């Protein structure tokens, strides 16, 4: 709403992490941070405001820095696809048609009249377009028998996926960064918000935080402005 100020937070992973950076999970962690710092009564009043339809804070999911999810739109017409196939090779065209991300600047510049064919041409005309891939790996673990403290004999191994904070972009590894957007109501103290959200990410986010996973540093916080839509027929949500 109009009494909300949007902030962009830049997150830099300091470890692997095992829980995707989704808005609902981030919100849950933020609630725990309120309870820890200010007590259950404060959390109760925060949740009451949310239930009443005026949440003090709304989170997006976190996205690769500089990008937003590609809007979900009706597919290209056959004649448009044919036109692209005449100009671009299948190897180049296939990934562009399946792209998950669009540059935030491009999306905001074209938000009033977003054209799927123009966006795909924009991607095709900029080789190497898009954020670096987020890599994950599978780790094998022993299941421990809590009674004896030894590995279980039968089916004692289990696997877990974890996300890695370094990506191979060409030859040289480059650290990933993420943009997280938060809309804060005017009644909310930005300094308290900053303190709480910093605690969420430095204390460890998501699964296995106690064993060193899910540590992120907030390397930047800035005010952000998204244009108000001229009409509300088509909107795009950045939150789960």
Q: pLDDT per residue over 117-162, tens digit each?
A: 999 999 998 888 887 766 666 655 444 444 544 444 445 554 556 6
Tell me the C-alpha distance between 152 and 231, whole Å: 60
Per-residue pLDDT band for 231 (boundaries 50, 70, 90) equals low
Q: Residue 20 — pLDDT band, cuts 50, 70, 90?
A: confident
**Which token pair is 196?**
């709480």
Q: Tell me the two tokens of residue 185.
A: 């109501």
Q: Could you tell me the CA-to-CA distances from 55 to 21, 50, 198 in Å, in that order? A: 20, 4, 19
The tokens describing 123, both together, are: 């991607």
Q: Report the SS3 class of residue 88.
A: coil
Dihedral angle over CA of 141, 145, 151, 152, nearest 10: -100
For position 136, what pLDDT does the model report? Answer: 65
Paired sense of beta strands 67-69 and 101-103, if any: antiparallel
pTM, rounded to two decimals = 0.80
Q: 96 pairs with which residues across the strands?
A: none
Helix (H), strand (E) at residue 85: helix 78-87
Condensed to tens digits (0 to 9), the pLDDT of residues 63-117 reads 989 999 898 888 889 999 999 999 898 888 888 888 889 999 999 988 878 889 9
Helices H / strands E in the chain, number of each: 7, 10
C-beta separation of 27 from 183 below 8 A: no
């Amino acid at each position: 709403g109009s009494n909300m100020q949007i902030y962009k937070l830049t997150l830099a992973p300091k470890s692997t992490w095992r829980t995707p950076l989704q808005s609902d999970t981030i919100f849950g962690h933020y609630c725990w941070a309120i309870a820890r710092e200010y007590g259950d009564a404060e959390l109760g009043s925060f949740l009451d405001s949310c239930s009443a339809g005026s949440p003090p804070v709304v989170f997006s999911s976190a996205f690769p820095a500089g990008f937003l999810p590609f809007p979900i739109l009706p597919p290209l017409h056959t004649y448009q696809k044919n036109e692209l196939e005449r100009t671009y090779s299948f190897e180049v065209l296939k990934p562009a048609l399946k792209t998950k991300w669009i540059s935030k600047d491009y999306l905001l510049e074209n938000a009033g009249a977003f054209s799927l064919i123009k966006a795909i041409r924009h991607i095709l005309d900029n080789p190497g377009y898009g954020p670096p891939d987020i890599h994950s790996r599978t780790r094998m673990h022993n299941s421990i028998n809590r009674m004896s403290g030894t590995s279980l004999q039968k089916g004692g191994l289990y696997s877990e996926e974890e996300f890695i904070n370094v990506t191979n972009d060409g030859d040289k590894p480059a650290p990933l960064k993420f943009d997280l957007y938060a809309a804060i109501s005017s009644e909310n103290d930005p300094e308290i918000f900053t303190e709480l959200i910093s605690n969420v990410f430095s204390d460890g986010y998501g699964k296995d935080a106690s064993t060193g996973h899910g540590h992120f540093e907030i390397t930047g916080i800035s005010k952000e402005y998204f244009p108000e839509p001229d009409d509300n027929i088509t909107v795009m949500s950045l939150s789960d």
